[in-house]
Amino acid sequence: MKTSNIIYVGLTIFTIFLMACTQTMTFTNPMLKPWEGAYQGIPAFDRVEVADVKPAMLKAMELSLEEMEAIASNSEPPTFENTIEEMERSGAPLDRAFAYYGVFSSNLSSPEFREVQSELAPLFSEFQSKITQNEALFQRVKTIYKNSKDEPLPADQQRVVELTYQSFAMSGANLDAEKKKRYAEINKELSTLYTNFSNNVLHDEENYVTYLTEDQLDGLPDAFIKSAARIADSKDRAGEYAVTNTRSSMDPFLTYSTVRELRKQVWTNYYSRGDNNDEYDNKDIIAQILKLRKERVGLLGYDNFAQWRLQNRMAKNPENALALMEAVWPAAIARVAEEVEDMQQVATANGDNITIAPWDYRYYAEKVRKAKYDLDSDEVKQYLQMDKLTDAMHYVAGRLFGYVFSPVPEGTVPVFHEDVKVWEVTDKDSGDHIGLWYLDPYAREGKRSGAWATTYRSYSTFDGKKNVLASNNSNFVKPAPGEALLISWDDATTFFHEFGHALHFFASNVKYPTLNGGVRDYTEFQSQLLERWLATDEVIDRFLVHQKTGEPMPESLVLKIKKAATFNQGFATTEYLASALMDMKLHLADPIQIDVKAFERKTLADLKMPKELPMRHRTPHFGHVFSGEGYATAYYGYMWADVLTADASEAFREAPGGFYDEEMANKLVAYLFAPRNSIDPAEVYRMFRGRDASIDALMRARGFPVTQ
């Protein structure tokens, strides 16, 4: 069953007539209008305003509920065709409305939109409950599900039925009336808390800006200084330099600034988001979320939220997820101890009378990198131009998937901001249109932090082939006019990662919309795997060229990068794993009277968390887990997926053609990308590799000892 934070349902034969009328009626709200123009129709991003959002969402939900009621009240016996297929067919106006809503929420949030968002959040929850708690609809789904156990359907239909039934059952459809009522109430409360959590984090990102004077710029690269000056000027602080409270600004500042007190201030601002004991503080919100989540799954008979969430993930249960994390944790923190010792030696040798603190880690790690590997991150950045990296990603997509990315002339396709660029994606051999790729690369006020991929329209062949509209979104600090955007190796890796998600969307080859979904601890695998192509010789030789001279990266620098591939893995693994473990342990704990900050402190102490570095996402701003439920008790999924990634990478290294081996590329597309969620992930990985993955490849990839 199709989901986009909301469960969509469909229509009966009677409703086909109704929808035919609906499609021909004139929608006055631009968010509801059918998409027109080339490429099977495209969103009119240039015509939608915040004032359109609430009436559009209310009308779209009303139409979807009419479709749901028609399907539920069908007098004919339930069949796959008159129930499941109609559900797959439904919700077109709501799909369109949510494409715009997602852009406002993630890319163009404003105080006006946040008001509307707060008003709509509980209404979305009520809408979803009206569907999942529609007894007549669920009984039709349940009947088809039970019948399919005796007389199995074709494989893709069987998968849709099982996923649809599971979605209803996990949402309380089997509960009695009293429990259903409470279940819906909890969801409504949670929806408001999630919105408040997100808006609080966004507030702290926008309002905690560190302004520098010219005498405080020591150590900072020229490109960073120019960008900081431009940002300060845009905030009416001409003559100063702004360090914004986002990772893309914080990370390079902590790496290069020689002013320790300023590093501490910037570090504190960033890691205190949502934890400033003011009206935007998230700790009480988190406590409420944890209590409500436990109560809700308790209605379904589960001991904790993690049991409920992981039942349909690859890990299956929290014990398996914890076992993986705890197997890697000792090696990770042991490596941190080695890294800190190296940094302390450098600090002492420099005459810096300090003990390494969290705001020192990046700064001295960079000095160690230079000392151990003669590798300067700023030197590497001179060869990492965003435009060239974009070309590199398109090159990889061409070699592996046979895709051609052609820039769409400016003004041809509507965009929601002038920074957004669009490419048409076509098949190299047939010339067939695959879809459009939107890129929104720069940070700005009102845009959520981080990097992500999304779709405005997903692929399916049901009721005619629908091509993909996919988007990648980053938060790079926009360079000064005329300057190239230079990014770090880590940021370049993330750029490839998110493009991997986009390729997963484009490569989809499924009939039914529901099958475009994914299993969270598996769908990060494809994107993590694509990261590996950044370091291939073909990409380095063709696209990593010096921003000024245009000369390719010298072999000596390439060797240094490859030699240092596992450098700082203690930091990278530990900061991530600490967040993943915290996520799981918070949801396994008793939330009654929980003190979120005290719990975080004690859990880290029990884990023997190194004091020299923080969690990647401290609990008060852990948006993956508390701005919604997608990654709740599932942040471990990045590591679960990386076990597969490391194992699959070794398969490419062993192939005659390496990472561009044609046979391996064909298997990659056929088994790992095209099926989406039409086949069980464990089964499809075995089809690709011939066996299950093991943790050994992961340990080797991170430079950790492999235990026998």
**Burial class of residue 50 (count of CB atoms within 10 Å of its CB; 0-12, 13-18, 19+):** middle
Answer for the pair 172, 180: CB distance below 8 angstroms, yes or no.
Answer: yes
Torsion of CA 395, 420, 118, 624, to 10 degrees: 30
Q: Which fold would CATH assign to domain 13-174?
A: Neurolysin; domain 3 (1.10.1370)
Alpha helix (H) residue ranges in 244-349? 247-256, 260-271, 283-299, 305-310, 318-349
| pLDDT single digits (tens) 251-288 | 999 999 999 999 999 999 999 999 999 999 999 999 99
- Residue by residue, DSSP assigns 361-397 as HHHHHHHHHHHHH---HHHHHTT-BHHHHHHHHHHHH
**Amino acid in position 76:** E
Contact 200, 285 (CB under 8 A): yes
CA-to-CA dists, residue 567 to 27, 43, 308, 402, 539, angstroms:
56, 44, 37, 34, 21
pLDDT, tens digit, for every residue of 110-125? 999 999 999 999 999 9
Give the residue-averaged pLDDT of 654-677: 97
Residue ranges of the domains in the chain?
13-174, 208-271, 386-505+530-563
* H or E stretch covering 421: strand 421-427
- At 140-185, the pLDDT tens digits run 999 999 999 999 999 999 999 999 999 999 999 999 999 999 999 9
The whole-chain average pLDDT of the chain stands at 94
Query: Angle formed by the axes of helices 135-150 and 50-72, to 10°?
Result: 60
Two tokens, residue 285: 């919100």
3-class state of residue 482 by DSSP = coil
| Domain 386-505+530-563, CATH class in plain words | mainly alpha
Q: Check pLDDT > 50 for residue 18.
A: no
- In this predicted structure, what is the pLDDT of residue 708? 57
Q: Give the pLDDT score at 23.
A: 42
Burial of 597 (0-12, 13-18, 19+ CB in 10 A): middle
Task: Tell me the three state secondary structure of residue 471.
Answer: strand
Q: pLDDT tens for residues 185-203?
A: 999 999 999 999 999 999 9
| pLDDT band of 4, cuts 50, 70, 90 | very low
Query: How would residue 133 be classed by pLDDT, with cut points 50, 70 and 90?
Result: very high
pLDDT at 14 over 50: no
pLDDT of residue 190: 97
Residues 84-95: pLDDT tens digits?
999 999 999 999
Residue-level pLDDT at 3: 35
For residue 300, give the 3-state DSSP assignment. coil
Largest separation between any pair of C-alpha atoms in the chain: 84
Q: How far is the C-alpha of 286 from the C-alpha of 596, rounded, in Å? A: 7
Would you state the pLDDT for residue 198? 96
Task: Evaluate if residue 549 carries a pLDDT over 80.
Answer: yes
Supply the DSSP string of 571-631, one letter for each residue.
HHHHHHHHHHHHHHHHHHS--TT--HHHHHHHHHHHTT--TTS--SS-GGG-HHHHSSSTT
What is the C-alpha to C-alpha distance for residues 648 and 530, in angstroms, rounded to an integer?
11
What pLDDT digit, counting tens, does each position of 405-447 carry? Answer: 999 999 999 999 999 999 999 999 999 999 999 999 999 999 9
- Exposure of 89 in the CB half-sphere (CA atoms within 13 A): 19
**pLDDT per residue over 298-355, tens digit each?**
999 999 999 999 999 999 999 999 999 999 999 999 999 999 999 999 999 999 999 9
Q: What percent of the chain has pLDDT over 70?
A: 96
Percentage of residues in the chain having pLDDT higher than 90: 94
| Residue 684: closest CA among 77, 155, 145 | 155
Q: Which residues of 649-688 are buried (b: 16+ CB within 10 A; e: fewer)?
A: bbbbeebeeebbbeebbebbbebbbbbbbbbebeebbeeb
User: pLDDT category, 27, cuts 50, 70, 90?
Assistant: confident
Phi and psi, residue 87, nearest 5°? -65, -40
